[in-house]
Structure 1
Amino acid sequence: MRWWKRFWLRYLYYCKVHWFIAASIVATILWLLWQSVSLLGLLLDVVAIFA
């Protein structure tokens, strides 16, 4: 559990120093998740049409 805490503290320090890069990475991940959810909804609509 100690290495996890060390990793988390290092991550927080990195975010503090490179907050713009960290925010960009988080925003990109959230955007990709949102895209995958909307694509999943589109796929379900297509399946519902043919089913």
Structure 2
Amino acid sequence: MNSKIRKIKNLRLFLLEQIAGLSTKQLNAVRVMSNNNIIWNIAHLIAAQ
């Protein structure tokens, strides 16, 4: 497997592991002093790849 693809795959697996225990409410909550929720941030990371 290509090195870049492997890195992208590993990052995506890491992100999934980090959010595995969070509820939909937690994923969609916008924290104080922040403009975006966790889902938006993860989608932005994936789109930027």
TM norm. shorter chain > 0.5: no
Radius of gyration: which is bigger?
Answer: 1
TM category (shorter chain) comes to 0.3 to 0.5
TM-score normalised according to structure 1 size: 0.39
TM-score normalised according to structure 2 size: 0.41
